């Protein structure tokens, strides 16, 4: 993994493969961002002109390389890389701009050993933003690639931030916080990107056990026998068509000073064929990502434990593989969920809500104040919000607002959504307490309303449908790679911090 550090060295004296500067899109052409003065001086004040002559505009994500031999022999690094930041407000960079700058910097430096970043980082939050973006932007998933292939480029090995006070305790703490969160996001990305023949409910649970041992939180695993004894009909019903039995994993983190609690529940369908309601051709290829919610919960709990947040957290990973076979749940079957409620299954591809319902009911037995579930739940949410934004549904308006605010602060786009009463009626069954699908229109909302039925009274609950942003099939940008994105990890960690300090 890429290492990041703070240094008091100047851009001129740092021995590195390249020095990175920020380039702002100005009204009259590109402008070197604050922090790059030493580099600009080395070019006798002509650096912006040189970059403009090479076609640079300062647009976000744009990268331009200039050999220092062109006119900056006083720099020890052989190359200057100008990374576009875009238009900057009068009050300076916002934190998301800095995260994207960090990500673009790391990607521009792919294959290099060491780069220095000459950008003014005047406060710990700015240090954290650039460091987080760089650590996320440097992510490469190459576990299943032949590393000896000629031309294979590795992530940049070392990024040195020159624009912060290296001896400032707050800056150091911000850097460490960024690295902890980035490692957890990247771990979630690894899980989402792992092929389904290498990740099943049992092996996923084993990874959780190892992380708990490493980072100091408790992990309990319920196998298929324990699930049957406990009558977890939703999880068992979804997993019964697969040769890989399901698991329910409980993660437990406690802090001696904690006065508040939150439960995090993640959908963990390690592969979703749709079951007997088989997905159409073209819809199966990325279904290894249907466990992104569980990956986010595991990553978040690991980060919360490492950050030593003063909050008690339970995490629940509802793990199953949804496959068609002679033992699979059929459309028309009725499942008795954990807690006794019955559900008529009319579409076996609406399986995520079944495993989540069991996990939510179980999580509520421990009386958390807040509960958040995370799931790649519906294609309808993607139709509504696109591929970059996740939806938020809740039983508490204030909590929904708090979740949305936490997501926005961490740079994860989200949108609060309603729970129309008429959609609840569409979940009524003629043979069971509920059916697992409602009206086609508003399907993302009715899925959330279904889950709300299993939340205990008095628990503030929010549902994050991350179906769109969990897996990026589009272009790489900023700190977002192709494939698994690790979305929701940052939001969940921020929510835990907000609960810990009493903000929500």
Tokens of 18: 């390249």
Q: How far is CA 498 from CA 98, 118, 391, 406, 503, in A?
A: 22, 32, 20, 8, 5
**Tokens 């049992």, residue located:** 202
Containing 255, the helix (H) or strand (E) segment is: none
Strands in 290-441 per DSSP E:
312-322, 334-336, 342-344, 370-375, 390-394, 414-416, 434-435
**Tokens 């002109």, residue located:** 49
Among candidate residues 14, 77, 68, the one with its CA nearest the CA of residue 44? 68
Residues with Cβ within 8 Å of residue 441, at least 6 apart in sequence: none
Tokens of 340: 């006794």
User: What is the distance between the alpha carbons of residues 33 and 85, in angstroms, rounded to a whole number?
Assistant: 9
Instruction: Output the CA torsion sign for 94, 96, 99, 104.
Output: negative
Q: Can you name the residues that pair with 370 across neighbouring β-strands?
A: 262, 460
Catalytic residue IDs: 279, 353
User: What is the distance between the alpha carbons of residues 491 and 12, in angstroms, rounded to a whole number?
Assistant: 38
How many CA atoms lie within 13 Å of 45's alpha carbon, on the beta-carbon side? 0
Among candidate residues 327, 322, 336, the one with its CA nearest the CA of residue 291? 322
Pair 249, 205: CB distance under 8 Å? yes
Containing 94, the helix (H) or strand (E) segment is: none
Three-state DSSP class for residue 220? strand
Q: How far is CA 97 from CA 22, 132, 171, in A?
A: 11, 12, 19
Pair 464, 403: CB distance under 8 Å? yes
CB atoms within 10 A of CB 441: 10
How far does CA 251 lie from the centroid of its chain? 18
CB atoms within 10 A of CB 387: 13
Extract long-range pairs of 470-473: CB within 8 Å, 24+ residues apart.
470/192, 470/289, 470/292, 470/293, 470/376, 471/192, 471/286, 471/289, 471/292, 471/376, 472/387, 473/286, 473/387
């Amino acid at each position: 993994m890429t290492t990041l550090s703070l240094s008091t060295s100047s851009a001129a004296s740092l021995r590195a493969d390249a020095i990175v500067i920020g380039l702002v899109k100005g009204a009259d052409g590109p402008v070197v961002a604050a922090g790059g003065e030493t580099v600009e001086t080395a070019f006798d004040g002509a650096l912006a002109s040189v970059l403009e002559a090479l076609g640079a505009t300062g647009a976000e994500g744009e990268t331009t390389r200039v050999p220092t031999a062109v006119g900056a022999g006083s720099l020890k690094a052989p190359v200057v890389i100008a990374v576009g930041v875009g238009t900057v407000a009068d009050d300076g960079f916002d934190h998301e701009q800095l995260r994207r700058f960090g990500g673009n910097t790391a990607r521009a430096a792919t294959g290099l050993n060491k780069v220095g970043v000459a950008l003014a980082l005047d406060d710990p939050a700015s240090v954290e933003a650039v460091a987080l973006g760089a650590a996320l932007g440097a992510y490469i998933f190459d576990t299943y690639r032949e590393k000896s292939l000629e031309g294979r480029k590795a992530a940049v090995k070392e990024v040195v931030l020159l624009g912060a006070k290296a001896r400032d305790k707050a800056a150091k703490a911000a850097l460490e916080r960024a690295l902890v969160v980035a490692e957890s996001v990247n771990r979630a990305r690894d899980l989402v990107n792992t092929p389904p023949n290498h990740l099943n409910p049992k092996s996923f649970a084993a990874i959780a056990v190892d992380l708990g041992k490493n980072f100091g939180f408790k992990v309990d695993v319920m196998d298929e026998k324990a699930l049957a004894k406990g009558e977890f009909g939703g999880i068992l019903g979804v997993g019964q068509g697969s040769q890989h039995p399901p698991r329910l994993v409980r993660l437990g983190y406690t802090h001696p000073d904690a006065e508040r609690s939150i439960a995090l529940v993640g959908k963990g369908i390690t592969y979703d064929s749709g079951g007997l309601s088989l997905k159409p051709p073209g819809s199966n290829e990325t279904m290894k990502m249907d466990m992104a919610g569980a990956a986010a919960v595991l990553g978040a709990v690991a980060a919360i434990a490492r950050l030593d947040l003063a909050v008690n957290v339970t995490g629940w990973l509802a793990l199953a593989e949804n496959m068609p076979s002679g033992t699979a749940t059929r459309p028309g079957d009725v499942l008795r969920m954990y807690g006794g409620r019955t559900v008529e299954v009319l579409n076996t591809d609406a399986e995520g809500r079944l495993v989540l319902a069991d996990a939510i009911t179980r999580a509520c037995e421990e009386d958390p104040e807040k509960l958040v579930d995370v799931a790649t739940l519906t294609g309808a949410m993607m139709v509504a919000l696109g591929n970059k934004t996740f939806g938020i549904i809740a039983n508490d308006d204030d909590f929904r607002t708090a979740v949305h605010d936490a997501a926005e602060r961490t740079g994860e786009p989200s949108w609060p959504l309603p729970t129309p009463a008429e959609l609840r009626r569409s979940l009524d069954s003629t043979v069971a307490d509920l059916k697992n699908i409602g009206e086609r229109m508003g399907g993302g909302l009715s899925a959330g309303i279904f889950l709300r039925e299993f939340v205990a009274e008095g628990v503030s609950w929010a549902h994050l449908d991350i179906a769109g942003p969990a897996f990026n099939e589009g272009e790489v940008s900023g700190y977002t790679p192709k494939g698994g994105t690790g979305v929701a990890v940052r939001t969940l960690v921020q929510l835990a911090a907000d609960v810990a300090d009493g903000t929500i």
